[in-house]
Amino acid sequence: MSDDARLTPLPTPCLLVDEARMKRNIARLAQHATALGVTLRPHLKTTKSIEAARHVLTGGCGPATVSTLAEAEVFAAAGIDDILYAVGISPDKLGRVIALHRAGCRLSVLLDSVAQAKAVAAAARQAGIAIPAMIEIDSDGHRSGLAPDDPALIDVGRILHEDGAALAGVLCHAGESYTAVGRDAHARFAEAERRAVVDAATALRRAGLPCPAVSVGSTPTAHGARDLSGVTELRAGVYVFFDLVMAGIEACTVDDIALSVLTTVIGHQTARGWTICDAGWMAMSRDRGTAAQRVDQGYGLVCDTAGRVIPGLYVSQANQEHGVIARHPDHDGEVPDLLLGTRLRILPNHACATAAQHQRYHVLPDGGDGGDNPGAPLLEWPRFGGW
Amino acid sequence: MSDDARLTPLPTPCLLVDEARMKRNIARLAQHATALGVTLRPHLKTTKSIEAARHVLTGGCGPATVSTLAEAEVFAAAGIDDILYAVGISPDKLGRVIALHRAGCRLSVLLDSVAQAKAVAAAARQAGIAIPAMIEIDSDGHRSGLAPDDPALIDVGRILHEDGAALAGVLCHAGESYTAVGRDAHARFAEAERRAVVDAATALRRAGLPCPAVSVGSTPTAHGARDLSGVTELRAGVYVFFDLVMAGIEACTVDDIALSVLTTVIGHQTARGWTICDAGWMAMSRDRGTAAQRVDQGYGLVCDTAGRVIPGLYVSQANQEHGVIARHPDHDGEVPDLLLGTRLRILPNHACATAAQHQRYHVLPDGGDGGDNPGAPLLEWPRFGGW
C-alpha cells in the first residue's frame, strides 16, 4: 500500500476526517428530514468544532442542540443563535443560561420535574427573560423524562407557562434504540418516540397550555423514522461521522464512517501475532461500545492510509499509549505483516468519545466526486472541550 | 451535609485534587524507594501538569518518565532535563527526540527490536547525538519487550552501543500486576520484574556491553517490592492520585484517592431509584476498570463535598453528560435522597483516564495536618493533553 504523502508530516496519533463522507452523511439526513416535513436540529456534541458546525447547520445560525453550556457559549459566540441545551438543567447553571440570552442567543433548557420548573421560572422572572424550556418525555425507560400520561407533566407545564418562563414544547430521546439492530427496529423506536411526544403535546394542549415544539431524535431513530406526523423537529448527532457502534446496529455501513485515528506501528510481539501501534485508549477513548454487539470490534478496525479496511485485523486491546493490533477471532485467512513505522487508520467504536480525546481534526478535503481530493492540502479544524 | 463554600462557584463537572492526600501518596513511595536504595523516576502521564510535577519530582528537574513526546516537550520547557519516553520509539518520532536533546533535555527512548535499534543508531549518528536508549524486557507477557534470554537482546544492545546511540540500560513494566490482588501478589510480580531486568543486564554485561540503568516499575509492584538488588531505578505513575482500580487490588485504600470529579444533581427517576448527575462519561472517562474486579464500582463511588464516601451509592451507568447514581447491588441499607442541585464528588475508576477528560485541576490546599486547609482558597493547576 502506498502512503498518502499529506499524512506523513502529521505526528501520530491524530484524528482524521474524510470530508466527502461527512458531507454525504449530513446531506442524507437533511434530505430525510425534509421528506418527513420536520426541521433538523443537529446535535453538535459529536464534532465540538465551529468549522464542522458550519457544514452541519446548512441554515448557518441554527437550530442546534448541545450537551454542555461550554458548547452553547462557543457556538453562540460564533453566531449560532437558536440552541437547545439537551441535558437536564440544574439551578446553579441558570446564570450562564441568562447570560447567553443577554448575548443574543435563544437558549432552550430541558427539564422533567416540578423542582426544575420552579427554579427556571424563578430565574426567568428575576432576569425578566422568558427562558424557553422543553419538557423531557420518556418513551423507552432509557434515562430521564416523564411518561406522557404522568400528571406531573401538566404541573410542570403550568409552572413554566404561568410563572415567568416559556413552555417551549416536549422532547424525547430514544436512547435504547442504540441497542436495536436494523432499520425496522429503529423505525419501531422512532414510532414510540413520536407517539410519546405527540401524546404529551396533546395532554398539554388539552390542559390549555402551549406546546409549539415537538422534538424527537437519536441517530438510529432519525434515520429509521417513516412518519413523523405531529412532530416539528428531529435531532441527531453522531450521524455526522458515524462509527462502528452505528455500523453494528446497521444505522450505517462501515464505508460511511468519516472519522479515524491515524497511527504508527511502534513494535511487535511476533510470537503472539501482535503489532503494537501508538493508538492506545488515550487516542481511541476507553469506549468499548461494540463489546455488547454481535461482532466485538475491540478498540477499532484497522485501515490503510487510504481508509480501506484491512480484512481480519482489529485493535484487540489498548493501554494508555499502546494499541495492540491482532487478527480478529472471526477471521480465518492471512493478515499482512505491518512493518515498524507503517501508518494506519483506525475506525473508532464511538465517534463522540474518540473525537473528545483530541484537540483538532485533520481533514481530507472533499473532492466533489464522492471521494477526497488527493491534490488538495489537508485542512485543520480545532475542536474544544470542557464544560 | 454542609457544602464547602469554595466549591460553590465551580461549574460542574470539574476535577478536584486533595493536595494533602496527594502529598502523602508521593511521600510514601519516595520513602519506600529510599529504603530500597533505588532512584524514583515518577511517571508524569497521570497528572500532565507542571504544578503537580513540581510536587512529584522532589529533586526538581527529574528524573521523570513520560508517555508522549508532547509531555516530554512541555516538561523539558519547564526545566525537567532527564526524561524517559517509555513507549516504543518509531523512526518518524526521532526528529522530535533530537530537537529535545538540542534544547538541553537528556531524553531516553525505549525499544525492543533490531529494526528500532538500527533506526535510533542511524538518527543518532546523523545528528551527532548519542541518543540514550533503554531495551524493554518482558517479565509477564503483558505487552512489549524481549525475554531476558532472547538472543536478540545482545544484537540490539550491540547495535545501540557500537553504531552511534547510547545503550542506557534495560527496563521492565509488569502491567499484569494490575490484575493481581494484595501486597504479597504484587511482591511476587515485583520480584519477577527485578529478576527479568537483572538477568538481562547480566547478559548484556557478559557480552561486553554496558548497562548502567536497570529500571522496573508499575504502581502495584513499586509499592509491593521488598528487595530490589541489582535494580537502579523505580517507576510508577498513578500512585500520585490512586483510584478505585488500585483500591480494588489493595495497592491503596479508598481514603488514599486524591482525585475526584465534582458533580451536581440534575434530575431523578424516582420509580427506578435513580439520581441523575452531570458527571457522565465525558467527565469520568469510559474507563470501567473495576468491571473485572471483585467489586464493580460502575463509573465511580459517590462522596459528599468533603470527600467522605456515602455508603451504598455508586454511578451505575453513564451517558455522555449524564451519570446515573443508584444503590450499589452489594448494599442492603437505606441510601439518602439527593435533592436537585446537590453537589457530590465521584471517585474514579482510573485516575489517568479521568484526569485526561479535563483541562485543569481545582486543588484543595494541604493544611499540613493530614487534611486540607478549609480557610485557604482553591488552587488551579492547568493540565495538558495531545501528542
Where are chain B's structural domains?
Answer: 5-16+251-382, 43-236
Return d(Cα B250, Cα B125) in angstroms, integer: 47
- Pinpoint the alpha helices (H) of chain B: 19-36, 50-56, 69-77, 94-102, 114-127, 152-162, 183-206, 219-224, 244-248, 281-284, 351-355
CB contact under 8 A, B340 and A285: no
Measured in angstroms, the CA of A369 and the nearest CA of chain B are apart by 33
Is A341 in CB contact (< 8 Å) with chain B?
Answer: yes
CATH 3.40.50.620 fits B5-16+251-382, yes or no: no
Burial B270-292 (b: 16+ CB within 10 A, else e): eeeebbbbbbbbbbbbbbbbbee
Return d(Cα B157, Cα B215) in angstroms, integer: 16
| Element spanning A201, H or E | helix A183-206
What pLDDT score does A2 carry?
A: 56
Burial class (CB in 10 A: 0-12, 13-18, 19+), A58: exposed
In a mutagenesis test of the B interface, which of A264, A278, A290, A362 is the best target, namely the one with the most B β-carbons within 10 Å?
A: A278
Architecture of domain A43-236: Alpha-Beta Barrel (3.20)
Return d(Cα A17, Cα A233) in angstroms, integer: 27
3-class secondary-structure state, position A383: coil
Beta strands in A112-189 (DSSP E): 132-137, 166-172
- Chain A positions in Cβ-Cβ contact with residue B339 (cut-off 8 Å): 115
Shortest CB distance from A287 goes to which of B144, B283, B286? B286
Nearest chain A residue to B321 by CA distance is A67
- Chain A positions in Cβ-Cβ contact with residue B116 (cut-off 8 Å): 267, 340
Half-sphere exposure at residue A9, Cβ-oriented, CA atoms within 13 angstroms: 4
CB contact under 8 A, B357 and A356: yes
CB contact under 8 A, B387 and A12: yes
CB contact under 8 A, B340 and A115: yes
Tens digit of pLDDT for each residue in B182-223? 999 999 999 999 999 999 999 999 999 999 999 999 999 999
**pLDDT at B142 > cutoff 90:** no
Tens digit of pLDDT for each residue in B317-349? 999 999 999 999 999 989 999 999 999 999 999
Is B211 in CB contact (< 8 Å) with chain A?
Answer: no
3-class secondary-structure state, position A341: coil
CB contact under 8 A, A11 and B319: no
- Pinpoint the alpha helices (H) of A207-350: 219-224, 244-248, 281-284
- Chain B positions in Cβ-Cβ contact with residue A292 (cut-off 8 Å): none
| Element spanning A23, H or E | helix A19-36
**Sign for the pseudo-dihedral over CA of B28, B31, B33, B36:** negative
Nearest chain B residue to A90 by CA distance is B266
Average pLDDT value for residue range B72-86: 97
Phi, psi of A366 (to 5 degrees): -60, 130
**pLDDT at B1 > cutoff 50:** no
Is A300 in CB contact (< 8 Å) with chain B?
Answer: no
**Cβ atoms within 10 Å, residue A328:** 19
Nearest to B241, CA basis, from B62, B33, B15, B17: B17
Average pLDDT value for residue range B45-71: 93
CB contact under 8 A, A385 and B359: yes
Size of interface A-B (CB pairs under 8 A): 157
**Cβ atoms within 10 Å, residue B383:** 18
CB contact under 8 A, B96 and A143: no
CB contact under 8 A, A12 and B88: no
Tens digit of pLDDT for each residue in B302-314? 999 999 999 999 9
> Residue B244 to residues B1, B259, B331, B346: CA-CA distances in angstroms?
24, 10, 17, 11
Return d(Cα B14, Cα A386) in angstroms, integer: 9
Return d(Cα B280, Cα A114) in angstroms, integer: 23
Shortest CB distance from B276 goes to which of A92, A144, A339? A144
Residues of chain A with pLDDT under 50: 1
What pLDDT score does A371 carry?
A: 84
Binned at pLDDT 50, 70 and 90, residue B58 comes out as confident
CB contact under 8 A, A341 and B91: yes
Shortest CB distance from B340 goes to which of A90, A357, A385? A90
Is A266 in CB contact (< 8 Å) with chain B?
Answer: yes
Return d(Cα B211, Cα A147) in angstroms, integer: 69
> Residue B172 to residues A269, B39, B181, B231, B259: CA-CA distances in angstroms?
15, 15, 20, 11, 27
**pLDDT at B374 > cutoff 90:** no
In a mutagenesis test of the A interface, which of B278, B315, B343 is the best target, namely the one with the most A β-carbons within 10 Å?
A: B278
> Residue A163 to residues A131, A159, A201: CA-CA distances in angstroms?
11, 5, 19
Half-sphere exposure at residue B286, Cβ-oriented, CA atoms within 13 angstroms: 23
Average pLDDT value for residue range B276-293: 98
CB contact under 8 A, A69 and B11: yes
What pLDDT score does A314 carry?
A: 98
CB contact under 8 A, A359 and B91: no
Shortest CB distance from B269 goes to which of A68, A144, A276? A144
Mean pLDDT over each residue of chain B, to the nearest integer: 96
Binned at pLDDT 50, 70 and 90, residue B2 comes out as low
Tens digit of pLDDT for each residue in A234-292? 999 999 999 999 999 999 999 999 999 999 999 999 989 999 999 999 999 999 999 99
3-class secondary-structure state, position B137: strand
Is B356 in CB contact (< 8 Å) with chain A?
Answer: yes
